[in-house]
Amino acid sequence: MAKTRKNAVTVISSVILLLHISGIVVGVASASAICVEPSHVIVSSGDTFTVNITVAPEGTEVYGAQYVLYFDNRLLRAQTQNEGPFLSQDGASTIILINHCDNTHCKTEYAEARAGVSYGVNNRSVLATIDFEVIGDSGTCELHLDKVILVDPDANKISNVTINKGLVEIAEEHAKPDLVIIDKWLNSDNCTICYMYGEALNCCCEQEYE
**Tens digit of each residue's pLDDT (9 = 90 or more) over 159-194:** 999 999 999 999 987 544 454 444 444 444 554 444
Residues of the chain falling short of pLDDT 50: 1-2, 4-13, 16-17, 19-26, 175-177, 179-188, 191-203, 205-210
Dihedral sign of CA atoms 53, 134, 75, 100 in order: negative
- The pLDDT value recorded for residue 197 is 41
- The pLDDT value recorded for residue 23 is 40
DSSP label at residue 156? P
Nearest 5 degrees, angle CA 140-CA 126-CA 7? 130
Helix (H, G, I), strand (E, B) or coil at 198: coil
- The pLDDT value recorded for residue 190 is 52
Cα separation, 140 vs 132, whole angstroms: 14
Cα separation, 173 vs 158, whole angstroms: 44
- Please give the backbone phi and psi of residue 82, each rounded to the nearest 5 degrees, phi first: -125, 150
Cα separation, 173 vs 57, whole angstroms: 40
3.20.20.80, 3.40.50.620, 2.60.40.680, 3.90.226.10: which CATH number matches 2-170? 2.60.40.680
Residue ranges matching CATH 2.60.40.680 in the chain: 2-170
